[in-house]
Chain A
Amino acid sequence: MHGLFTLFRKELEDHFSSVRFLLISALIVMVGVIIASMVGMSIQEESKGMAKPTLLFLWLFTSTGKLFSFVQFIGFFGPLIGIFLGFDSINRERVSRTLSKLASQPIYRDSIINAKFLAGMTTIAIVLVGIVLIISGLGIRLIGVVPGSEEVLRLVIYVIISILYISFWLGISILFSVVFRSTATSALASLAIWIFFSFFVGLGAGFMADAVAPVSQSGTNVDPNVLIRHEEVQRTISLASPMVLYNDATTTILDPTRKTTRGVILMGPLERLSLSRFQNPLPLLQSVIIVAPYLITIVAITFLCFGVCYLVFMRQEIRTV
């Protein structure tokens, strides 16, 4: 434990004093503030002279405004934070020959990798909590609404999911830094995975769906079964991307009026009927239940990723050269 704490402290110091970290957190804070103030001002304008609807506060995070919402921004850009914090964590020590020195000190070997992961996670948590607090403060000023206890709870859940989601990317990049000897290779490999999941899974899903259940673009009387099948295939494949998981989970948590993660096409007639009849926002627990499988998957892939990383590192030979 002692070694873990010492290493953790050093890693944290390294993160906070690195230019890389400053740049990326400045970027996130900047974009976050811009999005929040744009959304905040448009809410202010729209709700002028009206009774404020419940849970208005959360709109700050989910409303897309002119560009994209804060949630979408973190979903897309958050992985980069994780990658930036982790891509050279092990192989930099290998290149500068400090890894063998660390390993010959009286500490358990796993404390090296544990400390790196924990320090990364802590840094992510600090950045996220910071930016959410900044946006909340800005929002309170702009729209003049103080968040209620349920809104705060939803935000807390959102922050926890986001920390786990970014930690998954941290895990990926640490894994690559264990596997590849060169920091450039591990950075590029992590970025490739990021691009793959953010663009190509979506494209691939559409392509596969077209192949399995072709829906003609011009035809007016499309067989509804084919249409449903098309939609199902597309959805199943796109769920392989952690970004889709994260976006669906967080928007449902932050937007109580969203009662399902499925599209309209995939809903049964009764479900559609009940949705149109009952307009009230969902209680928090129900929102959580809807996205429970998503949350569990995000937790699972994060831990899985770290587990693989741990295993590979522990089995690796530490050589000076």
Chain B
Amino acid sequence: MEDQIIIEAEELTKKYGTQIAVNHLTLQIRQGEIFGFLGPNGAGKTTTLLMFLGLTEPTSGKVRIVGSDPKREPLRVKEKVGYLPENVGFYDDMDARQNLRFIARLNRIPDKVSSSKIDELLQLVGLFEEATKKVGTYSKGMRQRLGIAEVLIKEPKLIFLDEPTIGLDPDGTNRMLNFIRSLSREKNITIFFSSHLLDQVEKICDRVGIMIKGNLVAIGPIQELAQKKLGVGKEHYTLEELYMKYFKEA
């Protein structure tokens, strides 16, 4: 099961009018991987995510997510896939538990099952003490952690994280990254980590893909890419050097 392919995209293209947002994207991601999806703002990262989720229809090309086509069987994909959007939103007049219960209900989890699970998840993300506060009063970091809890409640096989650490303080960022890593290692959840914060990606990702202006210009383990691009035998490299090199060439 270790090598099962979770995301498979083939020649995936999305055009808005004449503008090409994503240009013939082809990639494969295996189960349990943490995949870093890099690129400047407006490179088409979010559009790619939305196509993977079936929230946007691709102009052409094929996608298979956990064995299903998000266009044909959107519900099957959404059952198994969690998505944490950038700046996740909640119903601010409800408390954390009510928000989680609502999402659990939408995922057909009966209240009896979900109530113990909700407590468990709130413990896990460290919001148990604040569970009865209205989400409107939550800080940015707390909202992000609640977002993770919300994604985990459906026990996904694959999680899409869109800039999950943006706006978090250094401590919060570190905790979030460690948490993401533990999800992958302990629960074997595949993580698709979209970000433009290179140091974070370098810390936790097994493989990266670099997207610039709608094109996937590089894909592979960081070390491999570095050897290819910066020359064999170079001992000290950073992802930033690598990224800037690709960025200038594009």
Partner of A104, one of B76, B83, B91, B92: B83
Whether the pair A106, B53 counts as a contact (CB closer than 8 A) is: no
Interface segment out of the listed B101-109, B178-186, B197-205, B210-218: B101-109
Whether the pair A320, B46 counts as a contact (CB closer than 8 A) is: yes
Whether the pair B75, A107 counts as a contact (CB closer than 8 A) is: yes
Quick one: given A6-B102, A6-B106, A317-B56, are A105 and B78 in contact (CB under 8 Å)? yes
| Residue B88 lies at the interface, judged by CB distance under 8 Å to chain A | yes
| Residue B87 lies at the interface, judged by CB distance under 8 Å to chain A | yes
Whether the pair A106, B75 counts as a contact (CB closer than 8 A) is: yes
Whether the pair A100, B92 counts as a contact (CB closer than 8 A) is: no
How far apart sit A91 and B234, CA to CA, in the bound complex (Å)? 52
Quick one: given A6-B102, A107-B75, A320-B46, are A98 and B86 in contact (CB under 8 Å)? no
Complex interface bits, A96-135 against B, C-beta within 8 A gives 1, otherwise 0 = 1111111111111100000000000000000000000000
Whether the pair A10, B88 counts as a contact (CB closer than 8 A) is: no
Contacts of B108 in A (CB 8 A): 2, 106
Whether the pair A106, B55 counts as a contact (CB closer than 8 A) is: no
| Residue B162 lies at the interface, judged by CB distance under 8 Å to chain A | yes
How far apart sit A97 and B154, CA to CA, in the bound complex (Å)? 20
Majority SS at the chain B contact face: mixed
Contacts of A10 in B (CB 8 A): 102
Partner of B106, one of A3, A109, A317: A3
Chain B 67-97 interface residues, beta-carbon cutoff 8 Å to A: 74-76, 78-79, 81-83, 85-92
Whether the pair B55, A96 counts as a contact (CB closer than 8 A) is: no
Whether the pair B106, A100 counts as a contact (CB closer than 8 A) is: no
| Residue B125 lies at the interface, judged by CB distance under 8 Å to chain A | no
Chain A 297-321 interface residues, beta-carbon cutoff 8 Å to B: 317-321
Quick one: given A97-B85, A97-B87, are A104 and B105 in contact (CB under 8 Å)? no
Whether the pair B106, A105 counts as a contact (CB closer than 8 A) is: yes
How far apart sit A97 and B144, CA to CA, in the bound complex (Å)? 13
A residues contacting B by CB (< 8 A) are 2-3, 6-7, 10, 93, 96-109, 317-321
B residues contacting A by CB (< 8 A) are 46, 50, 53, 55-56, 74-76, 78-79, 81-83, 85-92, 102-103, 105-108, 150, 154, 162
The 4 closest A-B pairs by CB, nearest first: A97-B89, A106-B78, A104-B83, A98-B89
Pairs across A and B, CB under 8 Å, 10 listed: A2-B108, A97-B87, A97-B88, A98-B89, A101-B83, A106-B78, A106-B106, A320-B86, A320-B87, A321-B86
